[in-house]
Structure 1
Amino acid sequence: MAPKPKPSKRDAILEAMLDLVVKRGFHDAPMSLLSKQSGASAGVIYHYFSSKDEIIQALYEHIRTLKIEAFLGDFSPDQDPRETFLRGCLNVYNFYRKHKREMRFYDQYKHAGFACAPDVKQEDERTKAYARRFSSKSKGGVLNEWPAEVLQEITLNLVIRLASQPRKLPKPLLLEIAEGIWQMVKAKE
């Protein structure tokens, strides 16, 4: 097996910031410690990023992109909504199990007062198509007419909470749970 390629300096800086924030929080992650942990001088750090906030924002965007890609998987608007929903539940569960550090950063980011509203103009067509598909029936989607925050709580947020539990759930059980959620939230024919 070929050795894993060495991360770029930029990636090493982001990885070091992730470690620092997860272990120490945003306010106890000084640039001097970031320099030491990443192996990049202050000059190199400032070559890639103009400020600590820019590093944090870049890390947030990187994690957000990873999360969206894992969540959508190979989504296509032509796929069966039920199958797409079930696969999406598994994808989210597995992502949150695998990326616990990243999700700790993400949660801290949301609660630290950073502006984390995504730029909707930058979302790709596949993401928009997914959002349309899994909106309420009156908006052209396949879900019932409950408020969006209620739908999110009993779908995505439930799967995320299950992923954060110490015991990993077996795939058949996850599929059974996802099927139960689907039956609850899908629009009636």
Structure 2
Amino acid sequence: MAKADKRDEVVRAALELIAEHGFHGAPMAMIAERAGVGAGTIYRYFENKDVLIAELYRDLEERSFPIILEGYAQEKPIRERFLHLGTALLRYFIVNPLDFRYLEQFHNSPYGVEHRRDKILGDKEGCDVFRDLF
């Protein structure tokens, strides 16, 4: 199996197992077994499980956003934009149920809390208002 294929298999296996069993129910050894690679192989691509989880989230964002935003028109009224995004998101998740289950796990975990906090409290001006809340 080529190097890129191994990484893709690890990511696919992690997505499946985390969607099925949650983060704690998907140890690295189980991910390696599902991917058909040695346990040590995962660590060539991902420093640890936290890095794998974060990169999988970024992969899903990069894959889903262009699909969800297809046909989105910034100049349309807010109601139409909201309906477009809601409908596109539902369609995406109907076609990609594992993505939905993974993202649900992610956003309802400490990983999701940290991700939202980083987005809100990033290096943007005006974020000082939120700092005390976290």
> What TM-score results when the alignment is normalised by the length of structure 1?
0.52
Aligned length: 112
Q: 1:59 aligns with which of 56, 60, 73?
A: 56
Tell whether 2:69 aligns with 1:72: yes
> Counterpart of 1:124?
none
CA radius of gyration, larger in? 1
> Counterpart of 1:27?
24
Runs of at least 5 residues in structure 2 that lack an aligned partner in the other structure = 121-134
Q: Percent identity?
A: 25
> Counterpart of 1:81?
76
Higher helix share: 2
> Counterpart of 2:130?
none
C-alpha distance 76-8 of structure 1, shift in aligned 2 (>3 A): farther
> What TM-score results when the alignment is normalised by the length of structure 2?
0.71
SS in 2 for 1:81: coil
> Counterpart of 1:116?
115
> Counterpart of 1:12?
9
- State whether residues 22 and 105 of structure 1, in contact with CA within 8 Å, keep that contact through their aligned partners in structure 2: yes
> Counterpart of 1:101?
98
What is the CA deviation profile of residues 69-91 of structure 1, one whole-angstrom value per residue up to 9, with x for unaligned ones?
A: 222114464xx414962543432
Runs of at least 5 residues in structure 1 that lack an aligned partner in the other structure = 1-6, 121-189
SS in 1 for 2:115: coil
- State whether residues 13 and 38 of structure 1, in contact with CA within 8 Å, keep that contact through their aligned partners in structure 2: yes
Quote the offset at 1:39 in angstroms. 1.0
Question: Structure 2 counterpart of 1:20, which letter?
Answer: L
Tell me the C-alpha RMSD between the 2 structures.
Answer: 2.3
Quote the offset at 1:67 in angstroms. 2.7
- State whether residues 73 and 88 of structure 1, in contact with CA within 8 Å, keep that contact through their aligned partners in structure 2: no
Question: Structure 1 counterpart of 2:64, which letter?
Answer: K
